[in-house]
Amino acid sequence: MAIQLEPGRNICLYYQSDPAPAPPGPWHERILLEPGSEKAMMGCTGESLFNGGTVWWVLTPDGDVYPEELAAPPLEGIAYCDDAEVPHLQRQVRPLPPLVAAHIYGFRADRPAGPPTPLLVQRAVADARVEQYSLDSDSAVQRAGPPPAPPAGRVLWAIGSSVDGDQETEKDYQHVPGDFAIGLGSYWLVKRGPQFLMVQEVARQDTGVIKLLRDQETDARVIPVKWKTVRERGRTFREAVALQEHHDFGDSPLQGDPGLPWLLTEVAQSAEGMVTRHHTWLAASGIPSGDRSIHEHFAISKIFDLAVELDQLNTMTLTSFELLGRRLQLIGQSHVYNPSNPDYSNSDDFMGWGAQRGAALVAPSMKKRAADAARDRAAVLKEGRKLDEEIRLRKPKGPKGGGRGGGGGQDASAGASGAQGS
């Protein structure tokens, strides 16, 4: 019984190999995109139908998209990867290996295509439709007019465009008819001459961050995973930092500009990692050996090294790591003037989370108004004190003396003069 092919399904193919007695090779995983045509297959691969089979556009773990003949030969077996039933064997010339992960060259994080995310598959479908139309314009391809005008408060946003393969920045999509448009669910692929635009309808207020949708198949919180060995991930600190970039999502609760990009860049240029930098700081700081800050500084440094080198996170764009980076810098700054008696008096401002004293709930606007009033009142009192001091300094002083019990100054002189006249 022939297998029923369905778009979007992960299928495993077993290819004919020569000579027949050779050790069996692996199954090869593919994602079925859409039916193709013999003309498109000839134009794309240069091959004609070998055995009158069905042509399908497929996506491979290496990220390739092309039309492939699903027939025997050249195939010995076809099976859905998630089907526990016995694979459909179209031409069995040898025992086939079991359909288990160890015998499948499939989609994984360390393959060029990475995990098959919905957006990755959606764009592969778009590539297949564009190629199918380019190679065989007479074939049936899902085409329609331009996307309809969006309702109030929403806009059409071109989240990806290409001219001869060069990416352009995201921009508003002007409602101008193109050669044709291909519907992709919530997206449209619009062809205008040599240019293809990927268009999505979005809320107008979301256009500030919608540009990140183009890179959704690569999570903004991580960098591409590198494997040192088959079972071990790893990059050098400097290599990983060079791949990181800061994305401002506009929702950070921390005050002030991010300082982590600068910190990571400085460490990458001068040290092999955060722990190495920790030991350099410890040797030069003069901090007593029993200070608890040493352990905290080392622990945060170790977290950074593991996150950057092993987990390969894009720490520059993570608010949690921005906070850890500020704490690391605060520890260093607090020990600058007195290594034995660190000063954490401005830690709330340094961390950027505002004052955190007590359990009272006070609106930030009220705290600011009270602080401004106190500052103004202090300024008035200061000016009053300065005025009193100035008055006292200007008041003339009389001659010294007059004897015991005698009056001083002007009044005493006037009394003496009067007595003489009488």
CB 273 within 8 A of CB 305: yes
Consecutive H or E run containing 241: helix 237-243
Do residues 241 and 295 share a domain? Answer: yes
Phi-psi region of 381 (alpha: psi -120 to 50; beta: other; left: phi over 0): alpha
Do residues 159 and 134 share a domain? Answer: no
Do residues 130 and 261 share a domain? Answer: no
Do residues 5 and 122 share a domain? Answer: yes
Q: Give domain status of residue 98, yes or no.
A: yes
Do residues 284 and 313 share a domain? Answer: yes
Q: Give domain status of residue 209, yes or no.
A: yes
The 10 Å Cβ neighbour count of residue 9 is 15
Consecutive H or E run containing 143: none
How far CA 208 is from CA of 152, 200, 213, 217, in Å, comes to 18, 14, 11, 19
Rounded to an integer, what distance in angstroms lies between the CA atom of residue 415 and that of residue 406? 11
- Of 103, 124, 141, the residue at which a domain comes to its end is 141
The position carrying tokens 């193919």 is 13
Do residues 82 and 179 share a domain? Answer: no
Q: Which domain holds residue 62?
A: 1-141
CA end-to-end span of the chain:
149
Residue type present at position 379:
A
Q: Give domain status of residue 222, yes or no.
A: no
DSSP codes joined into one string, 171-218:
EE------SEEEEETTEEEEEETTEEEEEEEEEGGGTTTGGGGGGTTS
Write down the pLDDT at residue 407.
46
Q: Give domain status of residue 176, yes or no.
A: yes
| Number of residues written out for the chain | 422
Q: Give domain status of residue 25, yes or no.
A: yes
> Reduced to 3 states, what is the DSSP secondary structure of residue 75?
strand
Do residues 57 and 192 share a domain? Answer: no
User: What's the predicted TM-score (pTM) here?
Assistant: 0.41
Rounded to an integer, what distance in angstroms lies between the CA atom of residue 188 and that of residue 239? 37
User: What is the tally of structural domains in the chain?
Assistant: 3
Q: How do residues 53-82 score in pLDDT, each as one tens digit?
A: 788 889 999 988 888 888 766 677 787 777
Phi-psi region of 64 (alpha: psi -120 to 50; beta: other; left: phi over 0): beta
The position carrying tokens 């505002």 is 354
Per-residue pLDDT tens digits of the chain, which is 422 residues long: 467 788 888 888 887 665 555 566 788 889 998 888 888 888 887 777 766 678 888 999 998 888 888 876 667 778 777 764 555 554 555 667 777 777 788 888 888 888 888 878 877 887 787 777 767 766 544 444 556 666 676 766 665 544 333 344 445 555 544 555 665 556 666 665 556 666 766 676 655 544 444 444 457 888 888 877 656 788 999 999 999 999 888 888 888 889 999 999 999 998 789 999 999 999 998 999 889 999 999 999 999 999 999 999 999 999 999 999 999 999 999 998 899 999 888 788 778 876 555 545 556 666 676 677 777 777 777 777 777 777 777 766 665 554 444 444 444 444 444 444 43
Do residues 189 and 278 share a domain? Answer: no
Rounded to an integer, what distance in angstroms lies between the CA atom of residue 163 and that of residue 135? 18
- Of 313, 328, 351, the residue at which a domain comes to its end is 351
Q: Which of 203, 149, 157 is nearest to 177 (CA)?
A: 149
Do residues 127 and 159 share a domain? Answer: no
Q: Give domain status of residue 374, yes or no.
A: no
Do residues 14 and 125 share a domain? Answer: yes
- Of 351, 368, 392, the residue at which a domain comes to its end is 351
Do residues 174 and 132 share a domain? Answer: no
List the Cα angle 149/250/319 in 5-degree steps: 135
Write down the pLDDT at residue 233.
85
Residue type present at position 250:
G
Do residues 337 and 247 share a domain? Answer: yes
